[in-house]
């Protein structure tokens, strides 16, 4: 007789929904149990640590850290001063599971020196300087030291007569901290990281990387002619089994799409639909922004049933703690 009410209490117990951080009017808000509140102004690209104590974000092109409990703000990078004429600066930070550091995209400038016969430019006119994105990481607990920031995943260069600089961007840590998914030249790549190799000197970390999915970028394509596709954001499911790839398609009939794939077999598509800025609410649901709508709203999509509904009105750039 005593067991029955206990079982009933367990049966009706509800798991609280994760807190969602999002951007509205260039400020970061949060939605918890249906209540929305302002977190910090003049901030985009929110990323929340797994313990929900720290918020990483981008302000005017640089990386910042905000302690959600102590309300303390720290600037992590000052690199936007290097490239005043580049409209896009640091983007999309991603926390490692321990909350020690983040990886993020940052544009670097390279001199292009051609040797041999001239080659046909990939995008319009070639310049003497090219901007590409590389993946950096920053120790958030070591911001006062000179070793707090370092290059993690660089670009690819090849050839003497054909000089190619391929961007490495949009990094995202797996929930177990052993893999970093990222985009290189439009394709999906995976870096396998050995956590035991990460020391105070960040440059000592070791990883193996490989392209795991070709996403259809056509060499010679431009936004005005041939179709191109590239990944600009990657989200892991909490169980580490799925990836949500936010892709851009440039063509007369194309539109941004979200492609959900198996992490261990990215060639297997689980779901595909029009949208952008996707992340997982949980392992069965994706948050995303619909393209070409009258207002920018955050939608919730059930991966299994494909049912969808508006979750947050007038919001973009959703983020959930740890993923």
Give pLDDT tens digits for 314-323: 999 999 986 6
CA separation for the pair 114, 163 (Å, rounded): 7
- Does position 75 have pLDDT exceeding 50, yes or no? yes
Q: Which CATH number fits domain 18-320: 3.10.510.20, 3.40.605.10, 2.120.10.30, 1.10.3720.10?
A: 2.120.10.30
Tell me the pLDDT tens digit for each residue of 216-273. Answer: 544 444 433 344 467 889 999 999 999 999 987 644 446 788 999 999 999 999 999 9
- Give the residue-averaged pLDDT of 194-219: 64
pLDDT on residue 194: 74
Tell me the three-class secondary structure of 186-252, residue by residue. CEEEEEEECHHHCCCCHHHCCEEEEEEECCCCCCCCCCCCCCEEEEEEEEECCCCCEEEEEEEEECC
* Domain residue ranges of the chain, discontinuous segments joined by +: 18-320
Q: Could you give the strand order of the β-sheet that contains 129-139, starting from the edge strand earlier in sequence? A: 91-95, 101-111, 129-139, 149-153
Q: And the tokens for 188?
A: 């999906």
Smallest Cα–Cα separation from 170: which of 277, 65, 292? 277
Q: Is 79 helix (H, G, I), strand (E, B) or coil?
A: helix
Q: Is 118 helix (H, G, I), strand (E, B) or coil?
A: coil
pLDDT band at 179 (very low <50, low <70, confident <90, very high): very high
Find out whether 64 and 73 touch, Cβ atoms under 8 Å: yes
Q: And the tokens for 147?
A: 């070793």
CA separation for the pair 62, 46 (Å, rounded): 12
Tell me the pLDDT tens digit for each residue of 37-73. Answer: 999 999 999 999 999 999 999 998 889 999 999 999 9
Q: How far is CA 18 from CA 15, 63, 320, in A?
A: 9, 24, 7
């Amino acid at each position: 007789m005593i067991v029955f009410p206990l079982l009933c209490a367990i049966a009706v117990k509800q798991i609280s929904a994760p807190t969602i951080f999002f951007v509205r009017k260039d400020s970061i808000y949060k939605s918890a149990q249906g209540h929305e509140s302002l977190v910090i102004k003049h901030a985009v690209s929110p990323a929340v640590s797994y313990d929900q104590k720290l918020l990483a974000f981008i302000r005017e092109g640089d990386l910042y850290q905000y302690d959600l409990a102590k309300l303390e703000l720290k600037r992590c990078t000052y690199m936007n001063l290097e490239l005043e004429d580049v409209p896009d600066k640091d983007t999309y930070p991603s926390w490692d599971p321990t909350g020690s550091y983040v990886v993020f995209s940052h544009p670097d400038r390279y001199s292009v020196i051609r040797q041999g016969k001239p080659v046909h430019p990939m995008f319009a006119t070639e310049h003497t300087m090219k901007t590409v994105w590389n993946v950096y990481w920053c120790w958030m607990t070591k911001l006062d030291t000179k070793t707090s920031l370092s290059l993690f995943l660089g670009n690819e260069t090849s050839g003497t007569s054909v000089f190619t600089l391929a961007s490495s961007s949009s990094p995202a840590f797996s929930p177990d901290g052993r893999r970093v998914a990222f985009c290189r030249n439009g394709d999906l790549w995976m870096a396998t990281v050995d956590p035991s190799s990460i020391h105070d000197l960040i440059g000592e970390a070791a990883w193996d990387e490989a392209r795991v999915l070709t996403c259809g970028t056509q060499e010679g394509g431009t936004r005005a002619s041939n179709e191109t596709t590239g990944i600009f954001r990657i989200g892991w499911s909490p169980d580490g089994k799925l990836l949500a790839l936010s892709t851009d398609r440039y063509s007369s009939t194309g539109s941004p799409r979200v492609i959900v794939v198996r992490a261990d077999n990215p060639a297997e598509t689980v779901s595909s639909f029009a949208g952008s800025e996707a992340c997982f609410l949980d392992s069965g649901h994706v948050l995303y922004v619909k393209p070409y709508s009258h207002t920018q709203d955050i939608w919730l999509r059930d991966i299994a049933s494909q049912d969808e509904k508006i979750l947050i009105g007038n919001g973009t750039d959703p983020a959930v703690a740890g993923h």
